[in-house]
Structure 1
């Protein structure tokens, strides 16, 4: 299915308020996939072994494919003449709505694996529900991306187990990553006012239910990995409402350089 050319007849009948809510939410999804995809692309040529170098590059491409479909739809919902490139390259850091987790630096391989695992569990569950979204376009994008997300979760889950139940050094590194990154996992399930309104309107699932399923999967994987689930950790919030860490600014400086240096550049 060519998502860019799919007609969403329902969207044409949306009220201005609902269109704005869907625009903001679709933008949030696109920002999240873009930033994580870019982070993974930074591993290209630097992976610990060739097979995993290629795996991370392929996951990055999957996320960027999802990003394009989402930005295209967001631009249509906004109706202001902006393109997917405008939304990706010509916005400031405070305008991005990705959760803090995905903008965290790659660190070592264990950091990247744990960041991916925490996100993949949420992403998989969300896309599974969004396939039944009453918005035809979001449902189509979710259906296409769900198969890829299923592989992503399988890959990151297996690596958490390998590192946690591996050598003394690999276990030390994944535990260190857990200490650093767990604090960002809660924001994935903290619904913003936009998400709350869309949930009330029947477009989004209850994130509390997603969290329960996510907790179950994390507990199962951590048990195999001989890792303990952190308890009573204060969760860092803000990314989904535009308050980011300093890391996003540096990431965007690299990501947006060509488009800002040579406006309108086309390959």
Structure 2
């Protein structure tokens, strides 16, 4: 009996390929708790100083709703644009050889290295009514800077590398023989793209979209200069949080931050569920 139990226990407890699982798991949980969970818990705890009535009053406040609408709306539009054009840029960089290809590939990472304030000032000067690009749209009565359009442009600028750097390695792993096989079986170019290539890229595209969206929601430095910061028009939620802090309204600032956290978590959860579904359907990529 003891021998059987010992054999059973030996079967259940197999040695791990990578040693130290318990130690690394404990370190990972402690690190995540220290860096992420504890600050978020402190944010929620600070907001709990408000009563439910006060919290709901902040939530339904017209200025708060307008700022949330601008932040999440522009971040969503920018992430969608980046998801489309990011895939196109990846296709050009992976499938074609041309002079200056490495230079173009390096330029994709510029938003990572460029300080956000510098990016915001540069974009504001370009898209202002008297700027190099903004002046072209003034005869059409289209204002880019100091509107939600300018905010979207800034978020596209800072979010594009997240899509490109997420999709590019996956696209490089796709064998060209798959495309040749599809063509041999009679598939047109459009069918090859939409029924063979894109399904395998879907999980990576969703990941890049989620990263670009999450970055856009909380972006401040590159947006505040081009937004114009007009209440109810082009004021973003992070700026409204800073305004509440300057007013020493810490509970109100943390309440707005908690609302942003809840909405962001819900939207990212939905994106992750869609991503998991696409992985199950199209296979692990």
Please say whether Structure 1 and Structure 2 have the same fold, judged by a TM-score greater than 0.5.
Answer: no
Structure of higher CA gyration radius: 2
Instruction: Report the TM-score, using the length of structure 1 for normalisation.
Output: 0.28
Which structure has more RCO (C-alpha within 8 Å, separation ≥ 6)? 2
